[in-house]
Structure 1
Amino acid sequence: MAGVPLCAAGLAMAFRGPARAHWRTLALTHGALGLAAAVVEPSARHRPASRDDVAVAFRVGAGMVAAGTLVDAVARRAVPRLAADATALRALTVTAGPVRMCAHLLLVVAPAEELFWRGLVQDRLTRRLGAGRAAAVTTVLYGLAHVPAGNAAVTGAATGLGGGLSLLRARGASLERLALVHAFWVVPTLLGERLRRAEGTHRGRTAPRHATTTAATTTADQEDLSMTTMPRAGRAGRRVTRWSRFVQLANNAVHIALYERTGGRLGTRMLGNQVGILTTRRPRDGQPYSVPLFTFPDGPDVIVVASYRGSAGDPRWYRHLLADPDAVLRVGDRVRAVRARVLEGDERAAAWRHVVRRFKGYEEYQRRTTRQLPVVRLSLRPEQD
């Protein structure tokens, strides 16, 4: 009874206090509660995690990240306050370096919260109420404890995360496994928010004025005509940092793993569009390189766009196709050998209109960069006809 309001007070101090002290305050308050839980509740004392714990936690955490991303995208559009609060949370992710932020989350916050909430609160409630009711009550208390943070996005995300973790505890998951799931969810999520913050700051500081004003007043056809001869050396666009590349590669790895493990049942649809796994060959060593992409059926063929979210440079998979147009495309449980062809002129304009009708994000990506986004047609290889 004392620990729950103390946790709420710690969250209020962390989110309402000085931004530069956010991660230190969060680590100190949560660390103290976790330590107290380990002292007073024998079931909350940690044991070393096994390899099986790590493997299972990674899969569960990846699934929670994927589900949370989809829910978050819908919720932010439906509730304006969530979008504003998410921006405030994003600002907190850059008040400390990425290594320091991840260290606080991995070594203190995630294990301490599981020690206290699932190890102390839920286990004691289970002895009084039973596993199911205890999980429900713990989820509610966990969500309410985040309300004093004053951030609806944080409260909503915490309630969703807490519900999943409490359910896993009710079904017998160890605290070590739950702490790893917690970490595998919170670290990629906040690194992703940090990446969005860095991208937004960079765009506001470096985007050329004409890139927005011209694109905002032209049609897709006019964009096709006005950006066809931009020299490579003069390109501008979203800057791809080392951390953004790391987060992107990690997200791709998780997406591909879920896609392949489930035979395409998970990860085939995103934001209302079909997702496929394109596998190219690296020119330098011939090794396969796979990436998840939006795929747009066009008759027997498939259209993909080398947007790289509006960066100044082309994505790796596109550069691989320029060197070797033969690739393998997986959509759901169907695998096809395909050959790539970069579209130009009227053919590209028609394909561009086709994909933009289905995903408006490409218009925003094109506004971010002076590079014309390549549109690629993937056709069944002749020997496969």
Structure 2
Amino acid sequence: MPFTDLRTQYEALRAGIHARMDRVLEHGQYILGPEVAELEEALRVRVGVRHCVTVGSGTDALLIALMALGVGPGDEVITTPFTFAATAEMIVIAGATPVFADVEPDTCNIDAKQVERLITPRTKCIMPVSLYGQVADMEELNAIAARHGLAVIEDAAQSFGASFQGRPSCGLSTFGCTSFFPSKPLGCYGDGGALFTDDDALAQAAREIRVHGQSKRYTHTRLGIAGRMDTLQCAIVLAKLERFDWEIARRKILGDQFRQRLQAAGAPVDLLAVRPDRDCVWGQFTVLAHDRAGLQQLLQEAGIPNAVHYPIPLTEQPVYRQYASAAGAPVAAAVAQRVLSLPFSADLTEQAMEQVVSALKAKATA
């Protein structure tokens, strides 16, 4: 059983993927070829913003957004301690200081109620993460940002295709940043990412930053990086877009079914909450285990892959511990001991779901 079934997806899209890749190989424009602009337009329309800028990875997207906003030494960025390291990593690489607000115990997303008290004169922006495929409370975060004149960068690496109050993830704030890492809801076959914004000046800055800060060839207007998404990867995402609406619908349906079956089986897990004003595309299908080590052993014995996203909050990571407050992040520390991600994709089979539920049910009745 695969943890993320990319093979079935590939078989369904094989002809379109090969046709798209062959076209790139024929025209030979591997860097900023026509598929790059084509993908940016398709994604821009889907999210409903004025600009989409493709970049080399979701991590690049975060760094470029920070750079475009002028975040640097002396600035603070409020973010979550419960996420992959790239979120805080890019804040530090930009020269700023990450300030960690604790998370909600039932969603694992940043707790908006904790954010405002952390704002200081040095705060430059807020960077929430839409964890596991569910958007954080962007209404409250945007309201806080507006009161204090701050930017908001949504780290939507796991939530492309999700919505909040009927609006798409990535189109909810100053910048939306997503990843096309292969296991994401919309993935390529390597690294890739994109930024989304309605701000013309920020979009122009992002386009220049991704090509070493060039406003035109060999004219370096600003500091930049090598942050382009290559044409072949854009071609793959274009091919995958043909099936994406179906996949997002399936993710929501399968997520609901999985949750209902786990609950009906009395599995020794708690389900994450999905707020009524948003949905979840289950970038990871994650539950809160009562006995994670025991469940992992049982799943391993049954041949069922699993993962922990994430075992150590950033406030306890050696390199980021210096940024933690004296109070730490107790909720993040608690959920880090319990989260368990189960096999999931749009092509999850009935047999695979039943196998996972049966294994966990056996643990509950042991």
Whose helix proportion is higher, 1 or 2? 1
- TM over 0.5, shorter chain: no
Structure number with bigger Rg: 1
TM-score normalized with structure 1 length: 0.25
